[in-house]
Amino acid sequence: MEHEPGTKVATEPASRRWGRRTITISGFAALWVLAVTLSPLAFVLTMVSDARRGRRNRWAHSRCVAFFLLYLTCEVLGIVAAFATWLWSGTWAGLSRRRLVSMDAALQRAWSSALFFGAVRIFSMKIETEGTQHAARGPYLLFVRHASTADTVLAAALIANPFKILLRYVLKRELLWDPCLDIVGQRLPNAFVDRSGTPESRDLDAVRSLAHGLGPGDGVLIFPEGTRFSQAKLDRARERLRARDPEWYRHSLNFRHVLPPRIGGSLALLDAAPGVDAVFFAQSGFEGAASFAHFWNGSMVGETIRGRVWRVPAGEIPRDRDDRIRWLLEQWIAVDAWVHEHVAVERVKSARVTTTVPRTA
């Protein structure tokens, strides 16, 4: 069943939705008040800790405290703004939802840009991208490498927001515990799916529905891997493939920085959007945010966020299922190769820095 752009594509009982929001909204508000109150003390303690750790620490702990304060502030302001857009749109009075969708799209752009570029500034990061012009006009299906929790705002800030493209996201259901993603994310056409195993038919239906009614200002974003990359996850994926799909297992041995793509959601989108181009976004630099320990100890400080975007016209996407799977695999091999090249460059730079020790007389 097709949905009108701007309607929810995944439903749940209202009692469950508002029960969750009661917990998350009150919880985030309380955390924000606590963070603002304790931030002076937290900055003093972390600055002392950072100073004791020396110059190589680069004020990592203090930067992390600043980022957590930024994140909670964005959440609280986002919740307030979401309530304001609902009131101002007149949806509560039975007026058209299109005005609400337009206002929430603008709110989503502001929220994601503030969070991303605030983090860039806090951690003194650099940004280098190429090919973003290929995503300047929709419609398209956007396939993104998944390396960290920051990838959602990364794609928004660097690809969608500059061109005012409204992305329809395929996201894991657990993200509904983020109140801004829950409230605004369910007003806009997004699909929150269960990523624990084989996709359920209703999840695939929700994913397919995102491809309906796409226009020049629209795109659909999916993470084909289904979860963030780690070496342990790659090893587990290979073991599963070894038993059930020897051919895919052999291909997976060539992957170094990506997981084997899960076929269900990607094929569902491609099948539902004939005539729509595919855009691929390979990116590196946020690997340091994949775990809290690395993040807390300064892995993001001074990082360079790199990205490359390329577009495949719809006419070049195979129609046969097996050919389409091989095509997707080839694109993902290209993503892995690009990431490997840039990760290798960063490792060489890091090695030069750590091995250059001033000589004493």
* Beta carbons within 8 Å of 213's beta carbon, 6+ residues apart: 2, 3, 4, 5
Cβ atoms of 1 and 209 closer than 8 Å: yes
Could you report the per-residue pLDDT of 191-207, keeping only the tens digit for each? 999 876 556 688 899 99
Nearest Cα to Cα of residue 60 among 179, 252, 52, 188: 52
State residue 313's pLDDT score.
97
Digit-coded pLDDT (tens) for 13-58: 888 999 999 999 999 999 999 999 999 999 999 999 989 887 667 8
pLDDT at 7 over 70: no
Quote the pLDDT of residue 197.
58
Residue 356 has pLDDT above 60, yes or no: no
Least confident of 4-8, 163-167, 235-239: 4-8
Q: Which of 80, 77, 86, 87 shows the shortest CA–CA distance to 104?
A: 86
User: Residue 151: what pLDDT?
Assistant: 87
Per-residue pLDDT tens digits for 248-270? 888 888 899 999 998 889 999 99
- Predicted confidence band at 90 (pLDDT cuts at 50, 70, 90)? confident
Say how far residue 255 (Cα) sits from the centre of its chain: 21
The whole model's pTM is what? 0.88
Of the pLDDT bands very low, low, confident and very high (cuts 50, 70, 90), residue 5 is very low
Token digits of residue 6: 């701007």
- What digits encode the pLDDT tens for the residues 205-215? 999 999 999 99
